């Protein structure tokens, strides 16, 4: 779907904006010292709301002393304690050059975008050092945004993080997530849209979302997201810039709010920032929507000007038009300046299938695509690496019946790999300590194992689909290590909530529990294969050569492995 065209602001509205900025930023000369607000880089994952702030330990820092001279250590007050910080830590950030025309990025390829040392490039001069205006920020170098996103080697894995956030919003009333392509009206390039009708984010939660390493969900057992890093890593892996629109329903006596935040690698690089600066603007609903500055109207207007300069939307009116898609509450994420491959094509392929988003390059195998048409029970194994529709259909073990995942105008049909099996059996796995005593009675995994229905056609499908908290972490995990055709056709499904996923949710942390689970799954494959051969013998088929091959494969697999 394309954003609807909107009229630009009238001259009178523009004049009111300038007038507001003049009055709020105001005149002159007060001798009152300025207190500079910084977001505290806290490792706390508390999800409690503090008064007037962002909740938990995301409190404000203020300079404890007066102006402070250069080169001296400053003291700041946080959580009731005064601490020393290095010289220069509290120096003002560079003034934003919001009106400068956006410079073209040095590279549009993700894996080369980290070559950034903060030095000027092109004809853009370094921003002058003056007082901070209008930005909530963390003191993290912009290059960290890129290096942090490299945890996602696979672009569809990054997209799955955004789907996780929307599914988590079921607890706040979400009934759908919509993934689509939009067109940037400024330069006619393609953009990626992910939106849901969940509870939305108030201004404090929006700042927590756009900050690094914070998660209010880390203590909620039913949610998938837990590290507080997924939104930043996933959006920056898919494109250089992201714009977030969110409207909150105003529960608990709070007023309705709507916020806009921009995390832009292009803006940070082009203005030579050495800190991650995140412009945000907020609105509150009284009799109508009014601007809600957190400091001054001058700061608010600076953030607005920066967003309209560096985003796909040129005016405040165009920005506000996006909330027409959200209705009462929800969140709309627009990722733009999407990354390209070495040949100058977008990594995300919107053309091959108008109802899908696919990947080009090494993840795509044309032979597998043709085989998937011939063998439907093996389709997901053959296509999930390059097709978002295929991957998203098996991404969750369970999806509420009232929740829809819509991809480019067509609903994604949920699929359970168990339905692709024949000769199924169910096994319960309980990890035990070396002394044979169960570690925890709640540490249980119900494993369904069987042969894929297409096995008789010798399709090379095998592996376990391992889920954690309903989310697929390892698709078709090949635990069978023997050479040859051993294990081919054997597939399984299990949910293992007792092993920790890695931060990119594409693997598990290498722990003793994981090693024991892997050994157990290998044994299950061996037993399943043996049972299959014995079934042939019972039918009086000529299985002598098959049994000999099987025994050789079992011995090869056991070499160097402790069962």
Question: Of the candidates 390, 411, 432, which is a domain's last residue?
Answer: 411
Higher pLDDT, 137 or 206: 206
The pLDDT-based confidence of 361 (bands split at 50, 70, 90) is confident
Q: Regarding predicted confidence, which is higher, 275 or 242?
A: 242
Where residue 91 falls among pLDDT bands split at 50, 70, 90? very low
pLDDT at 226 over 50: no
Asked whether residue 307 falls in the same domain as residue 265, the answer is: yes
Q: What is the rounded average pLDDT of the residues 296-322?
A: 96
CA–CA separation, 113 and 109 (whole Å): 6
* pLDDT tens-place string over residues 382-431: 999 999 999 999 999 999 999 999 999 999 999 999 999 988 889 888 87
Residue 366 corresponds to which tokens in the numbers above? 């044309």
Strands 38-39 and 60-63: antiparallel
Q: Are residues 226 and 295 in the same domain?
A: yes
Which pLDDT score, from 0 to 100, does residue 442 have? 75
**Among 44-48, 98-102, 323-327, 500-504, where is mean pLDDT lowest?**
44-48
Q: Which residues pair with 474 in a beta bridge?
A: 466
- Kindly state whether residues 425 and 390 are assigned to the same domain: no
- The residue from 304, 339, 374 where one domain ends is 339
Domain termination residue (choose one: 391, 411, 431): 411
pLDDT tier, 112 (very low <50, low <70, confident <90, very high otherwise)? low
What pLDDT is attached to residue 46? 37
Within-domain flag for 191: yes
Of the candidates 461, 307, 440, the residue with the CA atom closest to the CA atom of residue 372? 461
Q: Work out the pLDDT band at 314, boundaries 50, 70, 90.
A: very high
Tokens of 428: 């319960």
Specify the DSSP element, H or E, that contains 280: strand 276-285
CB 484 within 8 A of CB 458: no
If asked whether residues 193 and 331 sit together in one domain, one would say yes
Q: Residue 36 falls within a domain, yes or no?
A: no
Question: What pLDDT sits at residue 227?
Answer: 37
Residues 159 and 243 occupy one common structural domain? yes
Would 73 be classed as within a structural domain?
A: no
Extract the runs of DSSP E, i.e. beta strands, from 418-553.
Answer: 421-429, 445-452, 463-468, 471-477, 490-495
- Name, in order, each residue with C-beta under 8 angstroms of 404's C-beta and a sequence gap of 6 or more: 175, 176, 177, 411
Do 398 and 282 lie in one domain? The reply is: no
Residue 459 lies in a domain: yes
DSSP string, 5-19: P-PPPPHHHHHHHHH
Residues 488 and 399 in one domain: no
Q: What is the pLDDT of residue 413?
A: 97
CB 214, CB 58: distance < 8 Å: yes
Tokens, residue 562: 């402790």
Give the tokens for residue 293.
Answer: 């500055």
**pLDDT score at 519:** 85
Do 405 and 319 have their domain in common?
A: no
Q: Which domain holds residue 433?
A: 417-558
492 and 399 assigned to the same domain? no
pLDDT of residue 250: 73
| Tokens coding 307 | 């967003």
How much is the pLDDT for 552? Answer: 58
At 316, which CATH number?
Answer: 3.30.565
For the chain, the average pLDDT equals 74
pLDDT at 194: 98
At residue 255, the pLDDT reads: 87
pLDDT value at residue 284 = 95
Same domain, 404 and 432: no
| Span of 147-161, 383-397, 481-495, 542-556 with lowest mean pLDDT | 542-556
Position 180 scores a pLDDT of 98
User: Is 18 a domain residue?
Assistant: no
| CA separation for the pair 395, 389 (Å, rounded) | 10
In a domain, 85, yes or no: no
Mean pLDDT of 150-168: 92
Percentage of the residues of the chain whose pLDDT score is greater than 70: 62
The first and second tokens of residue 376, run together, are 């439907």
Query: Can you say how many angstroms the Cα of residue 319 is from the centroid of all Cα atoms in its chain?
Result: 23
The domain total for the chain is: 3
pLDDT digits (tens, 9 = 90+) for 53-88: 333 333 333 333 444 444 444 444 444 445 454 454
- Say which CATH number the domain at 434 has: 3.30.230
pLDDT band of residue 350 (cuts 50, 70, 90) is very high
Q: Residue 241's pLDDT is what?
A: 95
pLDDT value at 49 more than 70:
no
Report the DSSP beta bridge partners of residue 340.
109, 346
Q: Which residue has the higher pLDDT, 10 or 396?
A: 396
Ranges of H-type helices in 328-475: 366-374, 379-383, 388-393
Confidence of residue 304 (pLDDT cuts 50, 70, 90): very high
Rounded distance between C-alpha atoms, residue 384 and residue 472, angstroms: 12
Structure confidence at residue 282 (pLDDT):
96
Residue 312 lies in a domain: yes
* Report for 227-236, 356-365, 394-403, 529-538: range of highest mean pLDDT: 394-403
pLDDT tens by residue, 402-413: 999 999 999 999
Domain co-membership, 251 together with 188: yes
190 and 330 belong to one structural domain: yes
Residue 91 lies in a domain: no
Instruction: Kindly report the length of the chain.
Output: 563
3-state secondary structure of 147: helix
């Amino acid at each position: 779907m394309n954003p609807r065209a909107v009229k630009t602001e009238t001259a009178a509205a523009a004049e009111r904006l300038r007038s507001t900025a003049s009055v709020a930023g105001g005149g002159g000369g007060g001798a009152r010292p300025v207190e500079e607000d910084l977001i505290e880089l806290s490792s706390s994952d508390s999800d409690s709301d503090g008064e007037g702030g962002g909740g938990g330990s995301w409190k404000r820092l203020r300079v404890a002393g007066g102006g402070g001279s250069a080169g001296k250590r400053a003291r700041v007050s946080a959580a009731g304690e005064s601490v020393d910080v290095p010289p220069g830590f509290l120096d003002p950030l560079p003034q934003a050059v919001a009106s400068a025309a956006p410079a073209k990025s040095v590279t549009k390829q993700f894996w080369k975008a980290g070559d950034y040392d903060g030095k000027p490039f092109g004809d853009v001069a370094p921003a002058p050092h003056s007082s901070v205006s209008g930005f909530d920020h963390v003191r993290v170098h912009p290059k960290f945004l890129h290096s942090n996103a490299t945890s996602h080697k696979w672009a569809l894995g990054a997209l799955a993080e955004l789907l996780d956030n929307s599914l988590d919003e079921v607890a706040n009333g979400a009934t759908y997530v919509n993934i689509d392509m939009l067109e940037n009206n400024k330069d006619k390039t393609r953009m990626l849209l992910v939106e849901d009708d969940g509870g939305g984010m108030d201004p404090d939660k929006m700042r927590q979302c756009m900050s690094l390493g914070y998660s209010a969900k880390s203590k909620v057992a039913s949610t998938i997201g837990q590290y507080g890093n997924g939104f930043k890593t996933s959006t920056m892996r898919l494109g250089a810039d992201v714009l977030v629109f969110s409207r909150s329903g105003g529960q608990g006596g709070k007023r309705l709010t709507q916020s806009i935040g921009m995390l832009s690698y292009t803006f940070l690089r082009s203005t030579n920032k050495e800190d991650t600066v995140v412009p945000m603007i907020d609105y509150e609903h009284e009799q109508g929507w009014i601007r809600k500055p957190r400091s001054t109207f001058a700061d608010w207007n600076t953030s607005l000007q920066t967003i309209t300069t560096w985003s796909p939307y040129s005016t405040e009116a165009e920005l506000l038009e996006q909330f027409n898609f959200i209705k009462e509450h929800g969140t709309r994420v627009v990722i733009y300046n999407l990354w390209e491959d070495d040949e100058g094509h977008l990594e995300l392929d919107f053309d091959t299938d108008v109802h899908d988003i696919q990947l080009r390059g090494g993840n795509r195998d044309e032979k597998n695509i043709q085989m998937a048409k011939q063998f439907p029970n093996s389709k997901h194994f053959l296509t999930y690496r390059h097709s978002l529709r295929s991957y998203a259909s098996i991404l969750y073990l369970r999806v509420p019946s009232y929740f829809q995942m819509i991809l480019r105008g067509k609903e994604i049909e949920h699929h359970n790999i168990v339905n692709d099996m024949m000769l199924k059996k169910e096994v319960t796995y309980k990890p035990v300590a070396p002394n044979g005593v169960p570690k925890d009675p709640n540490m249980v995994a119900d494993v369904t194992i069987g042969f894929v229905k297409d096995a008789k056609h010798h399709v090379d499908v095998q592996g376990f689909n391992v889920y954690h908290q309903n989310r697929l972490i390892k698709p078709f995990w090949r635990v069978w290590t023997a050479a040859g055709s051993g294990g081919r056709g054997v597939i399984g499904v299990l949910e293992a909530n007792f092993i920790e996923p890695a931060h990119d949710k594409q693997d598990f942390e290498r722990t003793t529990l994981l090693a024991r689970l892997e050994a157990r799954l290998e044994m299950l494959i061996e037993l399943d294969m043996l049972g299959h051969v014995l079934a042939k013998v019972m039918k009086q088929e000529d299985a002598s050569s098959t049994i000999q091959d099987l025994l050789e494969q079992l011995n090869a697999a056991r070499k160097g492995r402790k069962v």
